[in-house]
C-alpha cells in the first residue's frame, strides 16, 4: 500500500536540476502525506487511511530506472471512522494483523508516461502474499531556488482484495464487501538534509 510514487519525485527534481549524477535521498513529510484505501460495502463506498507507515526513497538522476523505494505499513493503524470496520480490519478474516503486522510495497524501477504521469513498478506484500504491481501516479515539483524542491505525488493502485487473502470465510464473496479496493497515495517530499 504505498507507495512507491514518492521515489519518482526524485526524477522530476533531477530534471529540474539537470545535473548531479549522485543519488539523492528523499524525506516524506508525514504531516502533509496520506496513505489510504477506498472500498465498498453494500454498494456504499467508504474510505480509510493508515496512520503509521514509513517510506525510504533513493534515486540516481543519471540512471532513473535504478530508482528505488520501500514503504512499510503498520496494518494495525488502519482506520475508517466507523467503529465496526475499525475493530474488524485487524482481525483474522481481514488483515490478520496479529500474524502479518506489516504490509510492504517495494518499487524496483519506474517509467515516465508523458507529462507529469509515471508508473512505479514493484511488488506488494500483504498477509504473507507477494504480487507484482504497477502503480500509476502523477508528480508535480516546485520550490526551486534557495529552498529544497518540494515534490507532490498522487496515485491509485486498484487491487482485488481476495488475491491477498483479505476477506476470509463468508467475506470472500463480493455480496457484502466489493472485491475491488483502491490503495490511494498522496505524498509530499523534499530532499533529505
Reply yes or no on whether the pLDDT at 47 is more than 60. Answer: yes
Partner residues linked to 156 by β-bridges: 184
Instruction: Sketch out the chain's domains with CATH numbers.
Output: 4-191 (2.40.128.110)
Binning pLDDT at 50, 70 and 90, where does residue 65 land? Answer: confident
Which of the two residues, 190 and 16, has the higher pLDDT score? 190
**pLDDT digit string (tens) for 67-125?**
788 999 999 999 999 999 999 999 999 999 999 999 999 998 878 888 888 888 999 99
5-9, 31-35, 74-78, 182-186: which has the minimum mean pLDDT? 5-9
Sequence-ordered list of residues with C-beta below 8 angstroms from that of 180, at least 6 positions apart, any chain: 40, 158, 159, 160, 161
Over residues 130-189, the pLDDT tens digits come to 999 999 988 887 765 556 778 888 999 999 999 999 999 999 999 899 999 999 999 998
Residue 109 gets the label, from left (phi > 0), alpha (psi -120 to 50) or beta, of beta
Q: Label residue 6 by pLDDT band (50, 70, 90).
A: very low
Amino acid at each position: 500500500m504505498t507507495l512507491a510514487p514518492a521515489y519518482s519525485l526524485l526524477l522530476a527534481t533531477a530534471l529540474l536540476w539537470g545535473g548531479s549524477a549522485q543519488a539523492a535521498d528523499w524525506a516524506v513529510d508525514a504531516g502533509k502525506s496520506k496513505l489510504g484505501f477506498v472500498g465498498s460495502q453494500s454498494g456504499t463506498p467508504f474510505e480509510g487511511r493508515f496512520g503509521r507507515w514509513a517510506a525510504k526513497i533513493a534515486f540516481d538522476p543519471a540512471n532513473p530506472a535504478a530508482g528505488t523505494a520501500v514503504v512499510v505499513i503498520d496494518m494495525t493503524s488502519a482506520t475508517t471512522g466507523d467503529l465496526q470496520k475499525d475493530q474488524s480490519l485487524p482481525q483474522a478474516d481481514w488483515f490478520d494483523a496479529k500474524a502479518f503486522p506489516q504490509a510492504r510495497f517495494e518499487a524496483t524501477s519506474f517509467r515516465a508516461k508523458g507529462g507529469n504521469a509515471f508508473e512505479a513498478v514493484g511488488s506488494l506484500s500483504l498477509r504473507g502474499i507477494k504480487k507484482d504491481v504497477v502503480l500509476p501516479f502523477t508528480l508535480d515539483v516546485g520550490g526551486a531556488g534557495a529552498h529544497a524542491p518540494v515534490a507532490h505525488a498522487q496515485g491509485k493502485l486498484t487491487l482485488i482484495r481476495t488475491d491477498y487473502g483479505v476477506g476470509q470465510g463468508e467475506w470472500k464473496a463480493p455480496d457484502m464487501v466489493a472485491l475491488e479496493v483502491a490503495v490511494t497515495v498522496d505524498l509530499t517530499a523534499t530532499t533529505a538534509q
